[in-house]
Chain A
């Protein structure tokens, strides 16, 4: 087995430089690569283009990098929970490309699957389609959307093995498997790293071929954005 393990987050982020385009998995704060984000903050790299469904909250997730002005451009589908983000965007300090969530997911998938572009109906007739090629198929209009060109992808999984195979838990899967496919260098951080052979191959969500570096993550906060409960009766 090819061994993908690096010993810590410092080694995992070797080579990350200012000006790069990064993909970061997660939906809201669910399934975000917490350790890699902390390390990006520590490295102090700037002028980053970040592709991520959301932009974290003010003091957690990508919000940490926004506060330090490390992000030049965000490519996301929804950025509603972050006041600092909204401030930087409305003042023009931050470039923002808002794209439909399904288009974002498919663009990530296409990137890793060797598909340079594809047609989708999402956004046709709206400002999202402005300047883009459109085409009719079977009487319906579609918009041409392109793959991305990320330098690194940072994903978070529940379990991983030394060969880079990953298993996600619950809805923490979201964009992680798609971004894992897309990174020129994909860095996976996992809650539990086990020797190759311990995970059931039938249960693997992302094959190790898509992962270049894997490390045992630590100190996961796993914050909940909206704690909604049914009271105990």
Chain B
């Protein structure tokens, strides 16, 4: 069984480490906050100016002045802080944030990522994505392995306008966990019940398969 969005979020949550500051993008990455492993403390940074982001407010307690980067109403945890946008991106560019998780439309075997524009069709803008991918030490992409027509999104070369070059380190897709290496996508884990063959067929870019590939464990 390929993973659903929640499965992807749960697998990414296993990458969190105690003491990390983490920026989660819109979509699947946002869900990661719901599956923090027991016994570790992480703080979520929202690039619109909030550190220590908490869950959605209890119904009736929404505050128009407290939102996340997806413009959703949120809360702030004890020990959280607020700041302006320049300070926020100082945290990001200055590498004070240990992990960035974001979505992608395409990733190339050299770590290039495209996620902000489809020329002539969808032009919403990059928001903070270009700053995040240009600076983060550790970038995990949460994505579907193929598009809705079954075409691979893990490519030799991105076809869409780039968000950043050579920056993606790891991908957690509905089919696999892969590391981006100098030589291509290195297969680390398979989704439960998904064969290496299926992953091969769904990956256009160079796929490196070394030895037995373990199945991932999702609770």
Contacts and interface: CB of A to CB of B under 8 A. Distances in A.
Contact of A171 (B60, B67, B112, B166): B67
Interface stretch (B130-138, B147-155, B187-195, B210-218): B130-138
Contact of B123 (A90, A105, A123, A222): A90
Contacts of B126: 77-78, 98, 100-101, 128
B65 A101 contact: no
Tier of interface size on chain B: 35 or more
Contacts of A15: none
Contacts of B58: 229-230, 232
B159 interface: no
A70 B190 CA distance: 54
B66 A170 contact: yes
Contacts of A6: none
B130 to A, nearest CB: 4
Contacts of A31: 65
A229 B125 contact: no
Interface hub of A29, A98, A108, A222 (most chain B Cβ within 10 A):
A98
Nearest to A205: B84
Interface stretch (A16-24, A39-47, A173-181): A173-181
A27 B48 CA distance: 7
B125 A105 contact: no
Nearest to A123: B130
A122 B93 contact: yes
A226 B73 contact: yes
A123 B120 contact: no
A102 B92 contact: yes
Q: Which of A106, A108, A171, A226 has the most CB of B within 10 A?
A: A171
B56 A229 contact: yes
Given A27-B48, A223-B64, A224-B64, A123 B86 contact: no
A117 B113 CA distance: 27
B49 to A, nearest CB: 5
A93 interface: no
Contact of B85 (A89, A105, A205, A229): A105
Interface of A: 27-31, 53, 76-81, 86, 89-90, 96, 98, 100-106, 108-109, 120-128, 158, 169-178, 205, 222-232
Interface of B: 46-50, 55-74, 76, 82-86, 88-89, 92-93, 112, 120, 123-131, 134-135, 161-166
Q: Which 3 A-B pairs have the closest CB atoms?
A: A102-B89, A102-B131, A125-B165
